[in-house]
Amino acid sequence: MIIDEQAEFRSLLMHHVTTHWPDAIIAAYDPTAAGHLPDEFGGAGNDVILLGSMHGDDRDGVDVLARFVQRKNFPPVIYFGTADDEKAAADLHPDAHFMREHLSHDSLIVGISDVLLSNQRIASTSSLFVGDMRTGIHPLIKGYRFMRRLGSTEHSGVYLAERESTHLKVVLKVLRQTPEHGEGVGAFDRFLQEYETIADMDHPNIVRIYDLGVSDTHAHIAMEYLDGGDLRLKIENGMRERDAVRFLRQIASALSAVHQKHVLHRDLKPGNIMLRKDGSVALIDFGLAKRVRLEVAITDKGEIFGTPYYMSPEQGHGGDVDERSDIYSLGVIFFEMLTGDKPYKGGTAMGIIYKHARAPVPLLPPRLSRFQSLINMMLAKKPEDRVQTAAEIEEWL
């Protein structure tokens, strides 16, 4: 169902939907000509509501959105707003949110598809999504059978899928290009170049890459499905000293191999280190997302992009980073694996960043004192005072 007073906008949305799903059944509703929907309207019979911001002079689109999202069992709502109501609409958490002046066909289709999948809705009166469920995980990426969505961010969706040709379980990561957050197609080219470098590596502690693809509006990566959870959960459950040392060896070995290819990880943290059932670890999440964020590490509002708990001092202050920044992040992880606690904490991101740059390196408990010199070298404030290569970590151990 499409709701908006502007006939041209309703027609535009209808065109986008029917271009991709020719059999979709669409109800277009003009709230000014037909009157505002009654309070008891429950959206029954609709798989998704496409709600525009224009409802006449006597009603605001955000008010209508607020009514819809508060109702139980209401269909998912995708809101099309303006810069003026962007924050107010975002605070209501619609299932998806677009700027009506800056719509692209592919991003809209991907957005609708993600909403339907996350709400486990398949159109009952048409083949709106049935075909995509059979032929692929994604309306723009064919050859994979959808199993479930693992997560999503502002710019990407991550899915568990099965490659149809081999029945191999994979993790499919789909990155969507948005003009306000990217650098054009060239950014995706660089993104794929980094992953192509990783795909060519045969290292037991680096995630295996099976497939890469790019278009003007999205890129995708099919990679190894790591079913042992992430290192973050392992730390939360408590870790033995020998396991912490074993994981450090494996991560350092992987970093050494990656750095030899002149690739930085840039966002090393326990959530980006996955475990296999055999107990080995694998690095994941290299590439563009970190590159773009860290080149503008601190905004004019004092906000930080990335994970301040694991950022090197130079990274947190927007300076140039090299392999030694990854080594610092690994030092933070090693401290956390040994103690179960982060070396620096604070009430704000900027407070944590300040401590990384100024606070002394924390001391390990006496029972772990033999690792203090390594922690000191990995967490040195100045890059030149640190362990210079990941290979040196292995040598020290």
How many Cβ atoms are within 10 Å of 128's Cβ, its own excluded? 23
Task: State the DSSP string of 216-261.
Answer: SSEEEEEEE--TT-BHHHHHHT---HHHHHHHHHHHHHHHHHHHHT
Mean pLDDT of 184-189: 55
Amino acid 307: pLDDT: 67
Mean pLDDT of 76-89: 93
Separation in Å, CA 296 to CA 148, 181, 291, 305: 33, 11, 9, 8
The residue ranking higher by pLDDT, 166 or 39, is: 166
Give the model confidence (pLDDT) of 37-72 as tens digits: 888 888 888 889 999 999 988 888 999 999 999 988
Lowest mean pLDDT among 311-320, 352-361, 362-371: 311-320
Amino acid 42: pLDDT: 87
H helices, E strands: number in the chain: 14, 12
Amino acid 373: pLDDT: 96
Nearest to 100 by CA among 120, 80, 119: 80
CA distance 334 to 243: 11
CA distance 333 to 310: 7
How many Cβ atoms are within 10 Å of 313's Cβ, its own excluded? 20
- End-to-end Cα spacing for the chain: 62
The residue ranking higher by pLDDT, 2 or 196, is: 2
Task: State the DSSP string of 159-226.
Answer: EEEEETTT--EEEEEEEE--TTTS--HHHHHHHHHHHHHHHT---TTB--EEEEEE-SSEEEEEEE--
Residues 6 or more apart from 395 whose CB is under 8 A from it?
A: none
Mean pLDDT of 168-182: 68
Amino acid 140: pLDDT: 59
Q: Phi first, then psi: what are they for 166, rounded to 5°?
A: -120, -10
Amino acid 362: pLDDT: 94
Nearest to 380 by CA among 331, 318, 315, 309: 331
Mean pLDDT of 30-37: 89
Question: Which range, 125-134, 172-181, 246-255, 258-267, is most confident?
Answer: 246-255
Indicate the SS3 state at residue 156. strand
Give the model confidence (pLDDT) of 205-226 as tens digits: 999 988 887 766 667 888 899 9
Task: State the DSSP string of 306-317.
Answer: S-GGG--HHHHT
Amino acid 149: pLDDT: 74
CA distance 239 to 93: 37
Mean pLDDT of 380-385: 95
User: The whole model's pTM is what?
Assistant: 0.63
Amino acid 154: pLDDT: 54
The residue ranking higher by pLDDT, 297 or 76, is: 76
Query: Of the listed 4, 95, 132, 267, which one is catalytic?
Result: 267
CA distance 343 to 333: 9
Catalytic residue at 95? no
Mean pLDDT of 319-329: 90
pLDDT exceeds 70 at position 305: no
Lowest mean pLDDT among 161-165, 324-328, 341-345: 161-165
Place of tokens 């309703």: 10
The pLDDT > 70 percentage for the chain reads 82
Structural domains present in the chain: 2-125 (3.40.50.2300), 136-224 (3.30.200.20), 231-396 (1.10.510.10)
pLDDT exceeds 80 at position 243: yes
Q: What is the mean pLDDT of the chain?
A: 82
Separation in Å, CA 329 to CA 16, 17, 222, 223, 396: 44, 45, 26, 24, 17
Mean pLDDT of 369-381: 96
Give the model confidence (pLDDT) of 247-262 as tens digits: 999 999 999 998 988 8
pLDDT exceeds 90 at position 315: no
pLDDT exceeds 90 at position 1: yes
Amino acid 194: pLDDT: 64
Mean pLDDT of 342-351: 85
- pLDDT band (50, 70, 90) for residue 179: very low
DSSP lists the bridge partners of residue 206 as 283
Indicate the SS3 state at residue 354. helix
User: What is the gyration radius of the CA atoms in the chain, in angstroms?
Assistant: 24
Indicate the SS3 state at residue 31. coil
